[in-house]
Amino acid sequence: MIIESPVIDAILARQTIREYRPEQISSDQLETLMLAALRAPSGRNTQPIHARFCQNGAMLKEMQIDFKNIVGWDTPVHTRSDTNPFYHRAPTFAFLFAEGDSRMEAGLMAENLCVAARGLGLATVLVGSVGPLFSDDIAGPKWKKTLQIPEDWLFMVGVGIGHPDEAPEMKPRNEEQFMVIG
């Protein structure tokens, strides 16, 4: 039997949402999400992830233009890239960076954000595909400067956050990958 709890409910209900209503999340929701992200664990508590929460739609649109100029306007770089920008029009978008390649810590922080957002009745989309924007020789330094991130730091992953405007089926999972040995 699956045990019910608010945390388990949020984990089981989280899913990728790629369509958002335009209204912004509240400042209390943002503050709560930032605390949830900050509480993510890291090896030896090194806390290598620096997050930037962008709520500036005009800035995200400008980033999208630079991104497309880098990867190509008709290249299918991510799901629904023919209709949606990389941030899927989520009104809040968190960019996670690290000084080194701290993908484990970035993943843990990103999942904290996604589960916490779901617990607050919000939706999320993880976005890895915008990476080329930050590794580009010209756009990378420009946007890192805007986001107050040192040039040599690496983009890890992004998280779009907002109010859902679609209700897709849950994506299936392969239970055969799990086994109890005993």
Ligand X SMILES: Cc1cc2nc3c(=O)[nH]c(=O)nc-3n(C[C@H](O)[C@H](O)[C@H](O)COP(=O)(O)O)c2cc1C
In the complex, which residues of this chain contact ligand X (CB under 6 A)? 15-16, 18, 78-79, 125-129, 157, 171
Q: Nearer Cβ to ligand X, position 26 or 41? A: 41
Contact partners, residue 81, CB within 8 Å, separation at least 6 = 75, 129
The amino acid at 123: A
Paired sense of beta strands 154-162 and 123-127, if any: antiparallel
CB of 87 to ligand X, least distance (A): 9
Report the 10 Å Cβ neighbour count for 156.
25
Q: Nearer Cβ to ligand X, position 16 or 32? A: 16
- Compute φ and ψ for 27, nearest 5 degrees: -65, -30
CB of 107 to ligand X, least distance (A): 7
Report the 10 Å Cβ neighbour count for 44.
5
Report the 10 Å Cβ neighbour count for 86.
24
Structure tokens at 170: 């849950």
Separation CA 153–CA 146 (nearest Å): 14
CB of 73 to ligand X, least distance (A): 17
Q: Nearer Cβ to ligand X, position 56 or 79? A: 79
Q: Nearer Cβ to ligand X, position 42 or 129? A: 129
CB of 91 to ligand X, least distance (A): 16
Q: Nearer Cβ to ligand X, position 167 or 181? A: 167
Separation CA 45–CA 56 (nearest Å): 31
CB of 28 to ligand X, least distance (A): 25
